[in-house]
Amino acid sequence: MQNETERSIKILAIESSCDETAAAVVENGRNVLSNVVVSQIDEHKLYGGVVPEIASRRHVEAINAVVDKALSDASLTLPQLDAIAVTYAPGLIGALLVGVNFAKGLSYATGLPLVPVHHLRSHIASNYITNKDLKPPFLCLVVSGGHSHIVAVEDYTKMKIIGKTRDDAAGEVFDKVARTIGMPYPGGVNLDKKAELGNDSAYPMPHPRVADSPYDFSFSGLKTAALNIINNAHMKGEDVSPEDLSASYRKAVIGCLTENFLKAADDFGYKKLVIAGGVSANTLLRRELDKKCAEKGLELFKPELKYCGDNGAMVGAQAYYEFISGNIAGLSLNAAATKSIEQG
């Protein structure tokens, strides 16, 4: 695919991997022409977490209008596009299938190439929108509701996992503890706000390390420690301070993330660091990394808050690089609930 980088390539990107139905049009991987996100959070809140069956149904209901709006906001029609991109993995399988089948239908009807995009790769690419000059190689901490990875981004479509969680993801344990404290779903952002008001030394927390890998994480013990504090207090009829527990717990989780990330940067010689995924919106993570990277003379890149959570623009950003590297799927493309970021 020669000289593709020299002309304007406009890609319609569709995202339906979890509880947001999203579509965007992105030009040359960096310029967002439209970005439409319809969230299902209010409905899932009733159940304290995402109900996969409901997520799939809501995607089916919303996707047509979301894609239409993305096109009209960009003042474009389908024949003016260069490709259709879609998140195909990883995520909730029923939810992914809605986006994948919709994109396949559009690709078949228009003859436009179909570009499959890995969800975590797209989270990383959210940084290309915010930081126009950012180019690989760099080291990225990708932290979401389902994943916690340290990834060496060697090139736009070449990645290597340096470290990952051995059990729960960072977002997942934030949500679980927040829910037990009594905060509505998704708890991560609410716990983050409460933590800003609390004393982070009020409740001692463990600092779990994975014996055979300094770059891997383990959050389930930390989660259990926080849940035990709440349950023990309830049994004794005592109150737990939501602010202090949030602050103590947040400090412990973010401490593990920053320690391993900075160690990996040091050991592998990366001077350019990037964060991505829903948890990259965390106030303490951003503050700590800003401070530590400045002290160590490292460059830190962060996505704008509106691109931290799931959205179509980040899919369009990564899709551009997949497209120019020739990653085009046939109509036999299938969704996958799990897939390594290395395989893309």
Chain residues that interact with Zn ion, rule: CB under 5 A: 144, 310
Q: What are phi and psi of 182, to 5 degrees?
A: 110, 20
What's the CA gap between 63 and 234, in Å, rounded? 44
Residues contacting 227, CB < 8 A, separation 6+: 176, 177, 180
Provide, rounded to whole angstroms, the least separation between the CB of residue 122 and Zn ion: 8
Backbone angles phi, psi at 216, to 5 degrees: -85, 160
For Zn ion, the closer of residues 144 and 258 by Cβ is: 144
Q: Is the separation of the CB atoms in 22 and 16 below 8 Å?
A: yes
Closest distance to Zn ion from the beta carbon of 277 (Å): 6
Contact of residue 198 among Zn ion, ligand KG4, none (CB under 5-8 Å per partner type): none
Cα–Cα distance for residue pair 196/328, rounded to 1 Å: 45
Q: Which listed option, ligand KG4, Zn ion, none, makes contact with residue 189 (CB within 5 to 8 Å by class)?
A: ligand KG4
Q: Can you tell me which of 145, 242, 303, 312 binds ligand KG4, judged by CB under 6 A?
A: 145
Site string for ligand KG4, 30-69 (x = CB under 6 A): ----------------------------------------
281 contacts which partner out of ligand KG4, Zn ion, none, CB within 5 to 8 A by kind?
ligand KG4
Of 188, 198, 312, 344, the one binding ligand KG4 by CB under 6 A:
188
Helix (H) or strand (E) holding 120, with range, is: helix 119-130
189 binds ligand KG4 (CB under 6 A): yes
In contact, 143 and 123? CB cutoff 8 Å: no
Q: Considering the rule CB under 6 A, would residue 289 count as an interface residue with ligand KG4?
A: no
Does 198 contact ligand KG4 by CB under 6 A?
no
309 binds ligand KG4 per the rule CB under 6 A: yes
CA 320 to chain centre: 18
Closest CA to 171 of 269, 268, 310, 289: 310
Q: Which residues bind ligand KG4 (CB under 6 A)?
A: 18, 123, 144-146, 171, 174-175, 186-189, 192, 277-279, 281-282, 309-310
